[in-house]
């Protein structure tokens, strides 16, 4: 839509009219989020931040991202079952990163107790940026073959925005129309990630095999993104209104949950078939031992977890970096074409583990800090280091083990477009923006048996050029969808 925005050149009064319509539409149709603690609206539903128009993605690029998803899904499952690979990849991280160390302890506890539930469920989101090989002015169209699709990260826990994005896809049909453009299904394709993700949870519930057992959405006590989660819940009811779904926190699971002699997880009197984690992805989610105990109880149980502790570990940035090593993918995938198609999406990545290889990476980063991103093993946005922060970090930790907790990644400079980002408190103006494309996927596997594996839709997050981080709830980016050219 980038060039279309420029070409359309709507007058301000009409833009304002459109904005008034879209803001109300967003609230009426659940493109919404709970207001943060900063104002009088705290806890009330407000429109989620969104791009007024969809952002352009070349058809070939979207196809590339979507077509690799089932291979990525399968790869994640295979890694989750490969103890040796997990241990070799994470052994230096867990020594210095207490959060990762504790996740690893839980994994070891599960292993020594014997895995009680072989079925594992992933609701994944694979995130990419379009690295632009040419220097073009923001808003100019770029040939698809001058854009490299590069993976930013693979999310294996609490992959969010399937719900809100499903609704935003509908809103974007409206905004393009209101701007006076006709739009085809190819340009704004059907996009129903919440539906696909809900099917995954429902399938897991069926596999558990007790029709009176419940699905639990494990949520943070202070959750601004509740509506996104509710969309998944409502989609499950649409498919099967007889399933009961509870929302619980780790603390509540710790206090009211118990394991019976068969390791069934009971919350009060309710047996849990599926535990869907929308919390527990990052260190701040575990403020006390009681919270950690809640997580441990879940992992030691027979409930089907989405994700299991193994799946969460596989989503670590360290694993992504280890997979980018020459030959690493071949351990899991025998088809060379498949290997190549995944590897094509990898950015350059470097281990920082103490030793000569890590030393070289540190030198690289210090020579050109603006060309890299320094990433710890965290989720949810706001944790990476850029530019001067990188130099500062390595000045302090050049030869210390602290650096094992991070990986170094080539910085992607995405194609810049023009769009209006609609956020409360931010002036409404045509801005230079960059986008991150996410592809949703569902995987259900039990040992070597693949039970479900599909790709189920896409999303975009768009931010003002020059903003380092990308989180929406964290306030950096807005929701968006692809306009396929």
Residues 6+ apart with CB under 8 A from 231: 30, 162, 163, 164, 166, 167, 194
- Number of residues lying near ligand ADP (CB under 6 A): 19
The residue ranges of DSSP E strands in 413-472, in sequence order, are 417-422, 430-446, 449-464
- Minimum Å gap between C-beta 156 and ligand ADP is 10
User: Which of the listed partners (ligand ADP, Mg ion, none) does 189 bind, with a CB threshold of 5 to 8 Å by partner kind?
Assistant: none
User: Which of the listed partners (Mg ion, ligand ADP, none) does 203 bind, with a CB threshold of 5 to 8 Å by partner kind?
Assistant: none
Dihedral over Cα of 61, 62, 63, 67: its sign: positive
Pairing of strands 372-376, 406-410: antiparallel
Measured torsion, CA atoms of residues 41, 43, 49, 52, in degrees rounded to the nearest 10 = -70
C-beta closer to Mg ion: residue 279 or 379: 379
Q: What is the CA radius of gyration of the chain?
A: 22
Q: Binding of ligand ADP at residue 412 (CB under 6 A)?
A: yes
User: Which of the listed partners (ligand ADP, Mg ion, none) does 409 bind, with a CB threshold of 5 to 8 Å by partner kind?
Assistant: ligand ADP
* Stretch 116-135 residues interacting with ligand ADP (CB under 6 A): 127
Residue 470 labelled as part of a binding site: no
Helix (H) or strand (E) run with residue 234 in it: helix 226-239
d(CA 459, CA 152): 14
- Residue whose C-alpha is closest to residue 165's, from 127, 219, 130: 127
Chain residue at closest Cβ approach to Mg ion: 379
* Stretch 148-177 residues interacting with ligand ADP (CB under 6 A): 152-153
- Residue whose C-alpha is closest to residue 440's, from 235, 211, 239: 235
- Residue whose C-alpha is closest to residue 359's, from 396, 391, 403, 317: 403
Binding ligand ADP (rule: CB under 6 A), the pick from 409, 433, 442, 478 is 409
Q: Binding of Mg ion at residue 155 (CB under 5 A)?
A: yes
- Minimum Å gap between C-beta 249 and Mg ion is 21
Pairing of strands 245-248, 214-218: parallel
C-beta closer to ligand ADP: residue 246 or 382: 382
Q: Are 278 and 312 in contact (CB under 8 A)?
A: no
Identify which range of 161-169, 241-249, 300-308, 409-417 contacts ligand ADP by CB under 6 A.
409-417
Q: Mind telling me the catalytic residues?
A: 125, 153, 155, 160, 317, 375, 379-380, 461
User: What residues pair up with 218 in beta bridges, in sequence order?
Assistant: 248, 277
- Minimum Å gap between C-beta 259 and ligand ADP is 31
User: Which of the listed partners (Mg ion, ligand ADP, none) does 418 bind, with a CB threshold of 5 to 8 Å by partner kind?
Assistant: none
Q: Binding of ligand ADP at residue 432 (CB under 6 A)?
A: no
Binding Mg ion (rule: CB under 5 A), the pick from 228, 299, 379, 455 is 379
C-beta closer to ligand ADP: residue 200 or 470: 470
Q: Binding of ligand ADP at residue 462 (CB under 6 A)?
A: no
Residue 39 labelled as part of a binding site: no
Identify which range of 1-9, 54-62, 300-308, 376-384 contacts ligand ADP by CB under 6 A.
376-384
- Minimum Å gap between C-beta 380 and ligand ADP is 5
Pairing of strands 50-51, 417-422: antiparallel
Pairing of strands 55-57, 482-484: parallel
- Minimum Å gap between C-beta 186 and Mg ion is 28
Q: Binding of ligand ADP at residue 226 (CB under 6 A)?
A: no
Eight-state DSSP code of residue 434: E
Binding ligand ADP (rule: CB under 6 A), the pick from 411, 431, 439, 457 is 411
Chain residue at closest Cβ approach to ligand ADP: 470
- Residue whose C-alpha is closest to residue 207's, from 441, 450, 451: 451
- Minimum Å gap between C-beta 75 and Mg ion is 17
Identify which range of 88-96, 109-117, 164-172, 406-414 contacts ligand ADP by CB under 6 A.
406-414
- Minimum Å gap between C-beta 316 and Mg ion is 10
Residue 116 labelled as part of a binding site: no
3-class secondary-structure state, position 443:
strand
3-class secondary-structure state, position 385:
strand
Residue 383 labelled as part of a binding site: yes
C-beta closer to ligand ADP: residue 71 or 436: 436
Residues 6+ apart with CB under 8 A from 167: 26, 29, 30, 31, 231
Residue 230 labelled as part of a binding site: no
319 alpha carbon, distance to own chain's centre? 15
List binding-site positions for Mg(2+): 153, 155, 379
Interface residues with ligand ADP (CB under 6 A)?
127, 152-153, 347, 373, 375, 378-381, 383-384, 409-412, 436, 469-470
């Amino acid at each position: 839509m980038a060039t279309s925005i420029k070409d359309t050149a709507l007058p301000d009064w009409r833009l304002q009219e459109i904005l008034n319509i879209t803001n109300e539409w967003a609230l009426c149709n659940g493109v919404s989020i709970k207001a943060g603690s900063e104002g009088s609206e705290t806890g009330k539903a407000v429109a989620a931040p969104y791009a007024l128009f969809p952002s352009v993605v070349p058809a070939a690029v979207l196809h590339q991202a979507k077509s690799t998803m089932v291979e990525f899904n399968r790869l994640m499952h295979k890694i989750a079952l490969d103890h040796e690979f997990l241990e070799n990849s994470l052994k230096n991280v867990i020594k210095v990163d207490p959060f990762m160390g504790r996740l690893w302890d839980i994994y070891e506890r599960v292993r020594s107790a014997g895995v009680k539930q072989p079925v594992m469920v992933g609701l994944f989101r694979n995130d990419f940026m379009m690295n632009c090989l040419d220097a073009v002015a923001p808003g100019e169209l770029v040939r698809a073959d001058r854009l490299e699709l590069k993976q930013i990260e693979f999310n294996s826990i609490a992959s969010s925005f399937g719900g809100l994005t499903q609704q935003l896809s509908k809103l974007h049909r409206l905004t393009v129309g209101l701007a006076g453009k006709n739009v085809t299904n190819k340009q704004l394709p059907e996009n129903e990630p919440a539906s696909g993700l809900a099917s995954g949870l429902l399938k897991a519930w069926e596999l558990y095999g007790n029709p009176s057992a419940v699905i639990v959405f494990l949520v943070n006590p202070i959750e601004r993104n509740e509506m996104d989660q509710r969309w998944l819940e409502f989609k499950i009811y649409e498919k099967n209104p007889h399933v009961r779904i509870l929302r619980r926190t780790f603390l509540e699971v710790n206090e009211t949950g118990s394991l019976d002699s068969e390791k069934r997880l009971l919350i009060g009197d309710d047996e849990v078939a599926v535990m869907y984690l929308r919390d527990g992805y990052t260190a701040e989610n575990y403020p006390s031992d009681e919270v950690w105990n809640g997580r441990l109880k879940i992992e030691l149980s027979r409930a089907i977890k989405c994700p299991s502790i193994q799946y969460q570990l596989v989503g670590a940035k360290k694993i992504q970096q280890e997979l980018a090593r020459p030959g690493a993918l071949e351990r899991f995938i025998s088809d060379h074409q498949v290997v190549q198609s995944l590897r094509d999406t990898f950015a350059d990545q470097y281990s920082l583990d103490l030793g000569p290889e890590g030393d070289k990476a540190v030198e690289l980063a210090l020579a050109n800090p603006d060309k890299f991103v320094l990433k710890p093993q965290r989720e949810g946005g706001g944790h990476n280091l850029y530019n001067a922060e990188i130099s500062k970090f390595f000045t302090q930790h050049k030869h210390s083990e602290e650096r094992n907790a991070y990986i170094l990644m080539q910085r992607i400079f995405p194609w810049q477009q023009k769009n209006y980002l609609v956020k409360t408190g931010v002036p409404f103006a045509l801005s230079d923006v960059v986008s991150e494309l996410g592809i949703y996927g569902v995987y259900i596997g039990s040992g070597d048996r693949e039970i479900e594996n599909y790709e189920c839709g896409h999303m975009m997050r768009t931010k003002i050029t020059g903003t380092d981080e990308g989180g929406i709830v964290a306030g950096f980016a807005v929701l968006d969808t692809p306009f396929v050219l």
